[in-house]
Amino acid sequence: MWTVPAKDAQIPALGFGTFTLSPDDCHRMVKAALEIGYRHVDTAQVYDNEDAVGAAMGESPAPREDVWLTTKVWVDKFRDGDLQKSVDDSLKRLQTDYVDLLLLHWPNRDVPLEETLKALASVKRDGRARHIGLSNFTVSLMKQAFAATEEPLAVNQVEYHPYLNQDPVLDMVRAKGMALTAYSPVAQGKIMGDETLKRIGAKYGKNEAQVTLRWLIQQDGVVAIPRTKSKEHCKTNLEVFDFELTDDDMAEIKGLNRPDGRQISPQGLAPEWDT
């Protein structure tokens, strides 16, 4: 599996996402993903499945240092002191001394960004997180984050799939040497049955999800983290490194974006804080 550069990091281009997975499903599927060959797992404090991720990784023969592990700090832990304690709690649940990437899950207008980023940087400096970054930050908020910290930010994780244009965020992360991690990369299954994706996939013997994931990771600086409860889908999602989309394919898929393409709404935040 190839990797995507982000500052001084190399992130596996395809990861296994755990959003909405129950602890039992999460434990089962993370174990399966690692057995299949994934070396990138994404979770978050608010998912309530960090324990399951930690248990599955502990039971896997894959060495800890070979697995890129991401978690995210929830917005109610953005104060200096609260954030660091929440990371300690996450590490206990994850049964590890560090995470490879620690993200701010959503912007929080009630806590100064400078305070939160100072706390986030402290966690990196003491080794509890190898890299730090953002999630669901607009271009405007990304600029505010860059101004508020000198610590390199490696990633902005946002919803991204063929139905949602993210060109402004992509342009910004590329300009800053960051990566974009695409969550809900198959639009929560909405891409299945799409005639354009089916037609393109037929040329390569691939399904709509495989075409979509290939479209994402074939873009410069993009990582994708599909989530599934199916071991078979988990396996086929990884089978995207043996074909290449043409420039025409890439452009046609990009043209599928639409105004109502977003699947995930902001967590009670005002629209201007949305991505």
Residues 208-226: tens digit of each pLDDT: 999 999 999 999 999 999 9
Residues 6+ apart with CB under 8 A from 103: 44, 70, 71, 72, 73, 132, 133, 134, 135, 155, 157
Q: Is the separation of the CB atoms in 194 and 151 below 8 Å?
A: no
Q: Which residues of 2-11 are buried (b: 16+ CB within 10 A; e: fewer)?
A: eebebbebeb
Q: pLDDT per residue over 22-75, tens digit each?
A: 999 999 999 999 999 999 999 999 999 999 999 999 999 999 999 999 999 999
pLDDT at 204: 98
In whole angstroms, give the CA distance from residue 35 to residue 176.
Answer: 34
pLDDT at 10: 98
pLDDT at 266: 66
In whole angstroms, give the CA distance from residue 129 to residue 98.
Answer: 5
SS3 (DSSP) at 104: strand
In whole angstroms, give the CA distance from residue 59 to residue 272.
Answer: 43
pLDDT at 265: 73
pLDDT at 275: 38
What are phi and psi for residue 154, nearest 5 degrees? Answer: -90, -30
Residues 6+ apart with CB under 8 A from 4: 10, 11, 12, 13, 179, 217, 221, 222, 223
Exposed, middle or buried by CB within 10 Å (0-12, 13-18, 19+), for 105? Answer: buried
CA-based nearest residue to 136, from 94, 96, 169 = 169
Sign of CA dihedral 62, 63, 67, 69: positive
SS (H, E, C) 152-214: CEEEEEEECECCECCHHHHHHHHHCCCEEEEECCCHHHCCCCCHHHHHHHHHHCCCHHHHHHH
Q: Is the separation of the CB atoms in 186 and 161 below 8 Å?
A: yes
pLDDT at 268: 47
Residues belonging to the active site? 47
> How far from chain centre, in Å, is Cα 19?
10
User: Which neighbouring-strand residues pair with 11?
Assistant: 4
Residues of the chain with pLDDT under 50: 268-275
